[in-house]
Amino acid sequence: MADEHTPAEMVSESLYQRAISRRSVLAGAAAFGAALAVPALACGGNNDESVFSSTTQAPGSTASSGGSSNSAKVSRPGVPISASGQVVIDFTYGATGDASAKNPYIAVWVETATGEFIDTISLWYSSGENERYLSDMRSWISSSGGTDKSMSSATRNAGAYSVAWDGNDASGQKMPQGEYLFFIECARENGPYGVIAQPLTIAAAPVSASPSDKGEISKVLMTYTP
């Protein structure tokens, strides 16, 4: 989905590139207590209908992360997250603008506080010939390399949803307690673009956070239960 930039748009894109790099995200979260949100940008392109197909999946579905069989197991020092521990991420997607808008691509994933990619929690996109538009998921691709699709599924209609991280990395190995960054990225052609990044400390006690709305993603609640 190529697009042409005016000088102002080029400035916005430059700001985006700096903001969404993991180094900038981590620098902005140095205090580790405030939610981060990347400014919304319009996603370029001309044919919304041909790219984002709607589904009839009911709102409120839940997906738990699973390990990718292609990822090598590595040693994880520290106290492991409990076997029953999970982070549930609730959010609402609501289309803005044209009522005929099709569904966006959405990625939810987790990184360590130092910017190491851990796992794709959920990935919604249209496969087949429209898979090339995954390139619009710039933050997820930058973090994951674009290969961790073990939790992928079709796009969804507007509604309230929940996804969950079970505390494992992409290889299925339990992660240690500590500080993590949780991301939601949403891109829709001819629609707003937004990334939400929320730090969360995973330890022995429950914890929750409610980052600010961004783009077409709202009512986000991230809750860790040991």
pLDDT tens string for the chain (226 positions)? 333 333 333 333 333 343 344 444 444 444 444 444 443 333 333 333 333 333 333 333 334 334 343 445 667 889 999 999 999 999 999 877 765 667 889 999 999 999 999 999 999 998 887 888 888 899 999 999 998 777 767 788 889 999 999 999 999 999 999 999 999 999 987 778 899 999 999 999 999 999 999 989 999 999 999 9
Helical (H) or strand (E) element with 25: helix 22-28
Distance (Å, rounded) from C-alpha 217 to C-alpha 63?
18
How buried is residue 118: exposed, middle or buried, by Cβ count under 10 Å (0-12/13-18/19+)?
Answer: buried
